[in-house]
Structure 1
Amino acid sequence: MGAVVDRDVQRPDTAKESGAVETRRRGAVLEKAIFDAVFEELRHVGYGKLSMDGVANRARTGKAGLYRRWSSKETLVLDALRNVLPIPGELPAEGNVRDDVLMLLRCMQTALNSAHGAVLPEAAADVEGGCARTVRDCVIQPCREMLLQALERGVDQGSVRAEAVTPMIVGLGPSMLIGRVVTGGVPIPEEYVLSLVDDVLMPLIRP
């Protein structure tokens, strides 16, 4: 996709009245303003009522510019979510299952503790399904897939029971982190993540 360019600058009379200086935002600067606007809209109106008009108004840019890059609000929200998620691309070549699991859950912890992270559980709970599917595909599923890889590698190393590699156990860590945000808010403390790994997950998967 091409770079985002904001072609909607303030008219001289408007700029004069507000005391603002005419600017033309582009690239990463404009993209950040748009993504920030997405999360603010999610906080204030929820996914169901989020609209391209609302995002454009909050970002102070033109709706046509949004549609040049994103065909729908779902693709825009997906891009905004991907922008704040520090899920790694692959597991370290060398590592043990405990460290792998802890690394992945810390990535989710970082995402959920971020300025926009508190939006994720609210978005995931959207009953209409669109944003819930986006959050699942962008946040939960990638982490589950990498946790599955970590557990399978643990089986090969002899540190994980083969019977423990199930969808329920793979999804337990991510689900408990999101549940912690829903019930306790952010930030998720480090001791919670350590306890989740050492007191819950590792006893479940050890031979």
Structure 2
Amino acid sequence: MTADQRSGAGTGARPAKATRRRGAALERAILQATAEELVETGYSNLTMDRVAARAGTSKNVIYRRWPSRAALSVAAYRQMLPTDPEDTPDTGDLRSDALALLNRANDRLSSPVGKVLRQLLSGMQDDPERRREIREEVAPAGVAPWLTILSRAIARGEIDVAALAPRVATVALNLLRNEYSISGATAVPPTVLVEIVDQVFLPLVRAGR
């Protein structure tokens, strides 16, 4: 029996009414229950017993699909992400676009989903494979809109094409993430977002002009 399987005895998770679900319906119920547990109690307190009780199933059923609570949590986190891509800001001005993107990222990072993300990354220090899976979920959505606003700014003649590089594009986003992961912030004020854009991002992307 694994440590995951031994954990959670005597938990107080809300039991769900047992139903005869199979396949995709059962998996959705388990992932939904896991997501709710992650939001309410956090990854460090997540147990298979609590998830099973909330989903109205058994631990054995869960373990047949996910080998550990880490694997289950990553799968549940994927279900918490928005399925429809958000429109990239297009104000006609790079500074305004950057602030709009950074405010959107700040809203997400300070939300329950953002809190779950930080807990997973922190709680999976000894599971590099799962951390990689999470980062692969997050990274593309973070890079693409920033490259888009830079491409538009290049077309308008605001900045030089040399600025169109992923590391340059995401410097503002990474600084914001550091406020949460390193500084331990639970919310970042708008003044800090302005400082990131005006003091770091814009001088960097305009450096080649």
Q: Same fold, TM exceeding 0.5?
A: yes
Residue 168 (str. 1) matches residue 167 (str. 2): yes
Q: Note the residue ranges of structure 1 that are not aligned, 5 or more in a row.
A: 1-19
Partner of 1:147: 146
Letter aligned with residue 74 of structure 2: V
In structure 2, C-alpha distance between the alignment counterparts of 1:61 and 1:36, rounded to whole Å: 14
How far 1:180 moved relative to its partner? 0.5
Partner of 2:44: 44
Partner of 2:136: 137
Q: Out of 94, 99, 102, which is 2:96 matched to?
A: 99
Is the 1:74–1:134 contact (alpha carbons within 8 Å) kept by the matching residues of 2? no
Is the 2:39–2:113 contact (alpha carbons within 8 Å) kept by the matching residues of 1? yes
Is the 1:106–1:193 contact (alpha carbons within 8 Å) kept by the matching residues of 2? yes
How far 1:92 moved relative to its partner? 4.3
Matching of residues 1-207 of structure 1 within 5 Å: 23=17, 32-39=32-39, 43-44=43-44, 53-54=48-49, 56-57=51-52, 59-62=54-57, 63=59, 74=71, 77-84=74-81, 88-92=85-89, 95-125=92-122, 126-127=124-125, 128-182=127-181, 183-206=183-206, 207=209
1:78-133 CA distance string (max 9 Å, x none): 44245255984332465432232222222221111112422323423533223322
In structure 2, C-alpha distance between the alignment counterparts of 1:161 and 1:24, rounded to whole Å: 61
Count of matched residue pairs: 182
In 2 relative to 1, CA 120–66 (structure 1 residues): closer, same or farther, beyond 3 Å? same
* TM-score with structure 1 setting the length: 0.67
Letter aligned with residue 54 of structure 2: A
Q: Any idea what SS the aligned residue of 1:203 has?
A: helix
How far 1:156 moved relative to its partner? 1.0
In 2 relative to 1, CA 190–87 (structure 1 residues): closer, same or farther, beyond 3 Å? farther
In structure 1, C-alpha distance between the alignment counterparts of 2:33 and 2:167, rounded to whole Å: 38
Q: Note the residue ranges of structure 2 that are not aligned, 5 or more in a row.
A: 1-13
Is the 1:87–1:143 contact (alpha carbons within 8 Å) kept by the matching residues of 2? no
How far 1:57 moved relative to its partner? 3.5
State, as a whole percentage, how many aligned pairs show the same letter.
21
In 2 relative to 1, CA 21–75 (structure 1 residues): closer, same or farther, beyond 3 Å? closer
* Aligned residues: CA RMSD: 3.7
In 2 relative to 1, CA 59–195 (structure 1 residues): closer, same or farther, beyond 3 Å? farther
